[in-house]
Amino acid sequence: MNTNLYEYEQKTGDSADNFKRRIFDVPYPHGTLHLGSKTYVMGILNVTPDSFYDGKRYNTLENAIDRALKMAEEGADIIDVGGESTRPGAYPVSEAEEIKRVIPVIKVLSEQVRKPISIDTYKAIVAKKAIDAGASIINDIGGLLMDKEMAEIAAESKVPLVIMHKKGTPRTMQKYPIRKNVVSEILSSLRKSVSLALNAGIQEDRIILDPGIGFGKTAQHNLEILKRLDEFRSMGFPLLLGTSRKKFIGTILNLSARESLYGTLATLAVAVMNGAHIVRVHDVREAVQVVTVCDAIRNS
């Protein structure tokens, strides 16, 4: 048992095992996410020309909607729409371009699926327009630190907010990764972001944390995050984890992103068994099978 869980047990009288199994009811505009009752699968829909894995595959409206409907059919609990690649080395796009890419997709999708749609953006104006178009979750890779207006938009919209940790920008994050204790540094940054959220009026039960696998971390850091996931759970918020086809998996296997499905599925199993509430994936059908079996084992 790590120190944080021990402190939790001492302060509350609750056991660490109960803490790990805690269910978080996260309200969104059309329902509630019961995080902890099962692991939720978030399907990635990149409507960009330059994403590291699926760039150009879904950057037309027809292709994007077809893909989203397919993910919903395969069991995705959330559809995550993104209009700017955040792969290492990626250049930012303008607000206008990002809006042009994501809003038509969200408008059509919100009329065709009864699943929560999240907007993957760090720009407040993009988040606002996406919510107006039908999105009901904000997935902010900037952790409220890249756009000062994001906390206000999330508070006013009363939608769940994913606060992710990253170091630097996509252009620089892998050139200057975390140098010291990776878990301590991430926890410190996430606490700062959570304080910003609460001070802005965001309800505590609408906050989800993401330690940001691959965002300013080395391959060894990513493995350590997966191994020490309990320490992030001890902050008292549900956790989202995104490992899907990322470079550290290919590095271990000496394979490309296109060849790293099975490696990805291994990381999903570890994430679920170590307490992730949501996994963000490209391959929904396979991920659903993995998390279903892991949930059965974990909850037995």
Pairing of strands 31-35, 24-28: antiparallel
**Residue 208 bridge partners (DSSP):** 162
d(CA 228, CA 283): 25
Q: How far apart are CA 109 and CA 118, in angstroms?
A: 11
Exposure string over 77-110, b if 16+ CB within 10 A, otherwise e: bbbbbbbbbbbbebebbebeebbebbbebbebbb
Nearest to 19 by CA among 232, 183, 213: 232
If one counts every other C-beta atom within 10 angstroms of the C-beta of residue 3, the result is 9
123/149 Cα distance (integer angstroms): 8
Give the helix/strand (H/E) hosting 280. Answer: strand 278-281
Alpha helices in 13-94 (DSSP H): 16-20, 61-74
Pair of tokens at residue 154: 């999330």
Cβ-count burial of 7 within 10 angstroms (0-12 exposed, 13-18 middle, 19+ buried)?
exposed
Reported as half-sphere exposure (CB side, CA atoms, 13 A), residue 225 has a value of 28
**b/e map 112-135, b = 16+ CB within 10 Å:** ebebbbbbbbbbbbbbbbbbebbb
Q: Which residues are catalytic?
A: 246, 280
